[in-house]
Amino acid sequence: MSEPFVALFFVIDDKILLHKCRLENAEHYAEMRNYPRSHMDVWERHYKSEYHVDFDFYPRGRVIYDMRKEEFYIYYDPCCAKQAMKVRMMLGRRTCKLKCDPNYICNQCKDKERSSSY
């Protein structure tokens, strides 16, 4: 079985850009374990110079772990549901819940939202 992890990811042209760490290296927030860096930090360090857009331009998501419930949560932009499922498969048979989350809305979804509100 694969090593359990927490992570954040971006999806660009159907490709998953995954940044993960083992649970013992994760940040602790009460009973939750989270990847220790933000999407903005990772984007600035690894991708900004290549893609020339802000960190929230592309769909993205995050994998966290609830120590109390012993389950993983994958929060993601609706545009990358297929890739979120692929990330979920990397966790093997572990209990995992996938949830669309408005905190991870990409630029394309923001534009749709703006145009539908007029």
**What would the mean pLDDT of 53-60 be, rounded to a whole number?**
95
**What would the mean pLDDT of 49-57 be, rounded to a whole number?**
95
CA distance 4 to 23: 6
Q: According to the model, what pLDDT value does residue 110 have?
A: 73
User: pLDDT-based confidence at 1, cuts 50/70/90?
Assistant: low
Q: According to the model, what pLDDT value does residue 108 have?
A: 81
CA distance 53 to 48: 6
Domain encompassing residue 14: 5-116
Q: What percent of the chain has pLDDT over 70?
A: 92
**What would the mean pLDDT of 17-34 be, rounded to a whole number?**
95
85: closest CA among 26, 30, 11?
A: 11
Q: According to the model, what pLDDT value does residue 2 have?
A: 77
Coil, strand or helix at 68: coil
Q: Are strands 15-22 and 32-34 parallel, antiparallel or unpaired?
A: unpaired
User: pLDDT-based confidence at 102, cuts 50/70/90?
Assistant: confident
CA distance 45 to 58: 16
Total domains present in the chain? 1
Q: pTM for the complete prediction? A: 0.90
Whether 91 and 6 have beta carbons less than 8 Å apart is answered as no
- Mean of pLDDT over the chain: 92
